[in-house]
Amino acid sequence: MKKLLLGIMTVLLTLTLSGCKDKKGEVPGIVETPISTMEDMTIEGIQISDFSLVYENGMTNVYAKVTNKMEDAAYLKRIDFTLKDEEGNEIGKFYFYVDQILEVNEEKVLQSGISSDVTEAVTVEYAIVRE
């Protein structure tokens, strides 16, 4: 179990990127992108779109839509979003639990919230968790 966790952590660290895309326009692993210029992006065959932050009544809600753009159905446990301020400090973390198999081109709207104002975030880091 220790070796598995160490292996996963090594892979995640290795895949940490700053918006680099491969020839197909896909971003593997973890990616960080500016919120102000955020466009739809595909990470490991999962498209993330319509990302938004809404602060209301003391809560920040994060919304996003995910779509399976792979050639086969795919299990998706969750997507982790980490929000960062101008200095790169983590100011909020959201976990979108999907925990289901998404068929090809199937969409799912995700929502999560925390009880603080993180709308000053300037970048968001995504991580796809499959198991």
pLDDT digits (tens, 9 = 90+) for 26-81: 444 455 555 655 678 888 899 988 888 888 888 888 888 999 999 999 999 998 88
Burial class (CB in 10 A: 0-12, 13-18, 19+), 46: buried
| Distance between CA atoms of residues 90 and 97, nearest Å | 20
Q: How confident is the model at residue 99 (pLDDT cuts 50, 70, 90)?
A: very high
Q: Give this prediction's pTM.
A: 0.67
Average per-residue pLDDT for the chain: 75
Residues 95, 82: contact at Cβ < 8 Å? no
Considering the chain, what percentage of its residues have pLDDT values greater than 90? 23
Closest CA to 93 of 105, 80, 103: 80
Determine the straight-line distance between the first and last CA of the chain, rounded to whole angstroms.
14
> How far from the centroid of its chain's Cα atoms is residue 55's Cα?
19
Full set of structural domains in the chain with CATH: 2-129 (2.60.40.10)
Residues 129, 34: contact at Cβ < 8 Å? no
